Amino acid sequence: MKVLTVVKIGGNVVDNPEAIEKFLLQFSLLEGPKILIHGGGIMASEMSEKMGVETKMHNGRRITDEETLKICTMVYAGWINKSIVAGLQKIGCNSLGLSGADAGCVPAKRRSPEPVDFGFVGDVNPGDVNAGFLASLLGRGITPVFCAITHDRNGSLLNTNADTMASSIAISLSGTYYTKLIYCFEKDGVLSDPSNEKSVIPLVNTEGYRRLKETGIVSAGMLPKIDNAFLALEKGVSEVYIKNWSNITLSGGTMLKL
């Protein structure tokens, strides 16, 4: 089976022109077929502020009303996605920017308005991803670059969690490829001591994860990332890593194991 590498980068990289250029060069050096999923960064919040759109939150989570969806789509699917594509084309990586609506790649289900209405937010079922189309692009040597905007098949765009988007896409292709999923962020991996950047745990299994959660060592922001990582492993993805974005072609970071 051919190896496919699925990489997710977060907002901290996307927001920094030097970092993103450095990252894209490394990403382009990954051998074989690959897919990039990018988060949004702070540009959407900055835009909302400039345009006088109020950011509505519930328990620390953003509510995507119509104006916010418009801004997120403009920033994620417009400026960030196309800038990344142009940056990859420059260095000879033939990339293609996609939202989940394009070619019906990643349909999503709008989240139930009960108990809290988060607005235009969608959840993805990996089984719904159009893996055949993605495989056909990969087969032509094209590198898909995804923003985390999807659609409900009924004309509405939806804001989606980029970590889930990445695991869903990786899962959907794990029948066709030996699939590696790499979550990149600004730390070197899962830390055993949050105050010590060097305390990377090289391997976390489900039992280890349970203990990390119990002791409260893993921070709230990391939980969905690791949950998505384990889900991916359960559903057929061969290898999952959490590592620094500046380090994707090298060893190091945290490997997740069931």
Q: What residues line the site for a second copy (CB under 8 A)?
A: 47, 50-52, 70, 73-79, 81-83, 85-87, 89-90, 94-99, 101-104, 133, 136, 140, 142, 149, 151, 153-157
**What is the nearest approach in angstroms of a second copy to the Cβ of residue 107?**
8
Task: Classify the phi-psi angles of 160: left when phi > 0, otherwise alpha if psi is within -120 to 50, otherwise beta.
Answer: beta
**What is the nearest approach in angstroms of a second copy to the Cβ of residue 79?**
5
**What is the nearest approach in angstroms of a second copy to the Cβ of residue 146?**
12
CB 148, CB 39: distance < 8 Å: yes
CB 238, CB 182: distance < 8 Å: no
**What is the nearest approach in angstroms of a second copy to the Cβ of residue 89?**
6
The CA radius of gyration of the chain, in Å to the nearest whole number, is: 18
With vertex at residue 219, the alpha carbon angle to CA 42 and CA 80, rounded to the nearest 5 degrees, is: 20
Looking at the Cβ atoms of 135 and 217, the one nearer to a second copy is: 135
Peptide bond connecting 194 to the previous residue in cis, omega within 30 degrees of 0: no
**What is the nearest approach in angstroms of a second copy to the Cβ of residue 58?**
25
Looking at the Cβ atoms of 73 and 254, the one nearer to a second copy is: 73
Q: Which two tokens stand for residue 257?
A: 């194991």
The dihedrals phi and psi of 244, each to the nearest 5 degrees, come to: -75, 140
Q: Which residues are CB-contacts of 166 (< 8 A; sequence separation ≥ 6)? A: 6, 7, 8, 37, 181, 183, 228
Looking at the Cβ atoms of 78 and 236, the one nearer to a second copy is: 78
Looking at the Cβ atoms of 46 and 197, the one nearer to a second copy is: 46
Looking at the Cβ atoms of 103 and 231, the one nearer to a second copy is: 103
**What is the nearest approach in angstroms of a second copy to the Cβ of residue 183?**
25
Looking at the Cβ atoms of 165 and 201, the one nearer to a second copy is: 165
β-pairing, 109-110 vs 122-123, is antiparallel
